[in-house]
Amino acid sequence: MKIRTLEYFVREAVVSLKRNSLMSFASVSTVALSLLILGIFLVMVLNLNNMASTLESQVQISVYLQDNLNDLEIRETGTRISKLSGVSQVLYINKDEAMSRFKKRLGDQQGLLTALGDTNPLPNAFEVKVDKPERVKQVAEAIGQIKGVENAKFGQEVVEHLFNLTKMMRIFGLVLIIFLAMAALFIISNTIRLTVFARRKEIGIMKYVGATDWFIRWPFLIEGMMLGIGGALIAVLLLGQVYGALIQQVYQSLAFLPLIPQYPFITNISILLMVVGASIGALGSTISLRKFMRV
Amino acid sequence: MIHMTNVSKVYDNGSVALSDINVDIEKGEFVFVVGPSGAGKSTFTKLIFREELPTSGQLVVNGRNVGAMTSSEVPYFRRSLGIVFQDYRLLPNKTVYENVAFAMQVIEAPRREMQKRVNHVLDLVGLRNKTRCFPSELSGGEQQRIAIARAIVNSPLVVIADEPTGNLDPDTSWEIMKIFERINKGGTTIVMATHDKTVVDNMRKRVIAVEKSRIVRDQVKGVYGYED
């Protein structure tokens, strides 16, 4: 394609954007809204995923021992655990220590424990740390097989809840995004249809003097992509601002929440949104041109 | 140049526009296609520039079998033709120059060649002094001259005109015919559907008369042959 031809395509696209400025505005707004929501969902899902895996990496395995073991057996069990591959640290906590920790955590409400009298229902336990977070589950299962171990737990439920939440959000988000993308497609293809209609005479003449279909198509494709990219740009700017502000807030008040840092995270999402915007625009044009090209 | 062998055209609604047409038009000929309204004149021209496809028979234009052409070949085929309509079909928001240049622009002709050619054809139709005007500022005859300039700017082998003088008064029509004759003298084949008796009778060119979808007369140096 010659540069002069490209210039011509872009000029034609800009002219018709201006000519249908109201519809162009509607298209850009719809795309912006759709992509903004897509962006928000992406940011949320990715952050929840990140939280889940951070938590997973921090968890230790609590190994509760059967109550009838003697000191020797306890020590032997400890040795067996520390010999397992992936185990980096084994800490013994006897039932008395566990009770005093429990009391400390209850604080003002220690009175609850008076009902127990002198009996201590808490088991002896090991706290086990692993070298690689993704091995937690595997190591916990291996420990569960060792003789004398009642059960071995890690923060499984919390992590699994988080993963379930992200899964649900992903499905909900996907449905919403598909719906919004359809709306954006519909509006863009309508905008382009107006342009095509306004220029049907021109298209007819182009066909008679021997313009190829692609030569006729390009200005409309570019117009559609401009609408899509314009919308994406607005979405990206808003998303970047909002996420930046959010990160500021979280760092000040909820510093323990492991949010993904703004860069390059938002940059990557922005690139994705731009690509999606351009594709929606191009697709919208193609839809409305398909019928028209059979002249 | 244009060879029709047993060509028929039946539209989707069942109406027969042309049946069993056999015509040979050679390079450099000037041919009028005449006949009553609805006889098939327009279909005859539309088949040549592949606006319509023949239902049966073989149609060869500029050495290409029109019926067997793929749709991606059509644009390149049409570059060998120039088409002129009764209603001019100029772009109202482009100047005279731009309207003519447009035909070269869409086939991505080099800019320098474009300027030369556009000025040349505007000279030929006598409107070099109106390059900056918009179509709405011109008379019907002038607009048709611009349309002719656009049709010939890419040096087509054949010019097809469908009722080019249909909207014009006799004097202006005659001017337009002089331009077509000049183009024809340069070696370009011209096929013109018309019901302009005066024009046909004065030009004395080959006349093909179509009636009820069939050719009823093919006459060298012919006359219109119908009462107005």
Q: What is the pLDDT of residue B82?
A: 95
The pairing of beta strand B30-34 with beta strand B189-193: parallel
B159-199 tens-digit pLDDT? 999 999 999 999 999 999 999 999 999 999 999 999 999 99
Contact B176, B150 (CB under 8 A): no
Alpha helices (H) in A59-133, listed in sequence order: 71-83, 95-106
Tell me: do A235 and A150 sit in the same domain: no
Which residues, in sequence order, are CB contacts of B134 under 8 Å at separation 6+?
B92, B93, B94, B95, B96
CA distance B195 to B204: 14
- Asked whether residue A224 carries a pLDDT value surpassing 80, the answer given is yes
Tell me: do A23 and A66 sit in the same domain: no
ipTM for the predicted complex: 0.86
- Measuring CA to CA, which residue among A66, A41, A212 is closest to residue A144? A66
Number of domains in chain B: 1
Nearest to B106 among A4, A201, A209 (CB): A209
- Residues of the domain holding B130: 91-155
Q: What is the distance in angstroms between the Cα of A294 and the nearest Cα belonging to chain B?
A: 9
Length of chain A equals 295
Question: What distances in angstroms separate CA A42 from CA A169, A247, A268, A280, one per listed residue?
Answer: 10, 16, 11, 18
A209, B89: Cβ pair inside 8 Å? no
**For B78, which residue in chain A has the nearest alpha carbon?**
A210
Which residues, in sequence order, are CB contacts of A39 under 8 Å at separation 6+?
A235, A236, A239, A269, A273
Tell me: do A139 and A76 sit in the same domain: yes
B113-120: average pLDDT? 94
B107, A209: Cβ pair inside 8 Å? yes
A208, B102: Cβ pair inside 8 Å? no
- Measuring CA to CA, which residue among A273, A255, A57, A294 is closest to residue A181? A273
- Residues of the domain holding A93: 60-154
Contact B197, B7 (CB under 8 A): no
Tell me which of A215-229, A247-261, A272-286 is least confident: A247-261
Tell me: do A143 and A170 sit in the same domain: no
Tell me the residues of A at the B interface, defined by beta carbons under 8 Å apart: 2, 4-5, 8, 201-202, 204-213, 215
**For B106, which residue in chain A has the nearest alpha carbon?**
A211
B63 inside domain: no
Number of domains in chain A: 2
A98-125: average pLDDT? 80
**Which residue type sits at A154?**
F
B78, A205: Cβ pair inside 8 Å? no
> Among the three residues A104, A132, A154, which one is the final residue of a domain in this structure?
A154
Name the one residue in this structure whose structure tokens are 């019928």: A291
B102 inside domain: yes
Q: What is the distance in angstroms between the Cα of A244 and the nearest Cα belonging to chain B?
A: 48
> Among the three residues A84, A119, A154, which one is the final residue of a domain in this structure?
A154
Tell me: do A25 and A120 sit in the same domain: no
Q: What is the distance in angstroms between the Cα of B171 and the nearest Cα belonging to chain A?
A: 28
Tell me: do A44 and A76 sit in the same domain: no
Tell me: do A48 and A65 sit in the same domain: no
Tell me: do A214 and A242 sit in the same domain: yes
> Among the three residues A154, A187, A213, which one is the final residue of a domain in this structure?
A154
Q: What is the distance in angstroms between the Cα of B127 and the nearest Cα belonging to chain A?
A: 21
CA distance B73 to B58: 17
pTM (2 d.p.): 0.70
Rounded to 5 degrees, φ, ψ at B191 are -120, 120
What are the DSSP calls for A149-163, one per residue?
EEEEE-SHHHHHHHH
Tell me: do A49 and A188 sit in the same domain: yes
Alpha-carbon dihedral of residues B51, B53, B54, B59, nearest 10 degrees? 80
Tell me: do A116 and A252 sit in the same domain: no
Q: What is the pLDDT of residue B178?
A: 95
Greatest mean pLDDT among A156-160, A192-196, A224-228, B186-190 lies in: B186-190
CA distance B84 to A53: 72
**Secondary structure class of B134 (helix, strand, coil):** coil
Tell me: do A124 and A105 sit in the same domain: yes
Element (H, E) at A170: helix A156-198
- Residues of A whose CB is below 8 A from B91: 201-202, 205
**For B82, which residue in chain A has the nearest alpha carbon?**
A209
**For B148, which residue in chain A has the nearest alpha carbon?**
A209
Nearest to A209 among B72, B78, B111 (CB): B78
Q: What is the distance in angstroms between the Cα of A287 and the nearest Cα belonging to chain B?
A: 19
CATH number at residue A143: 3.30.70.3040
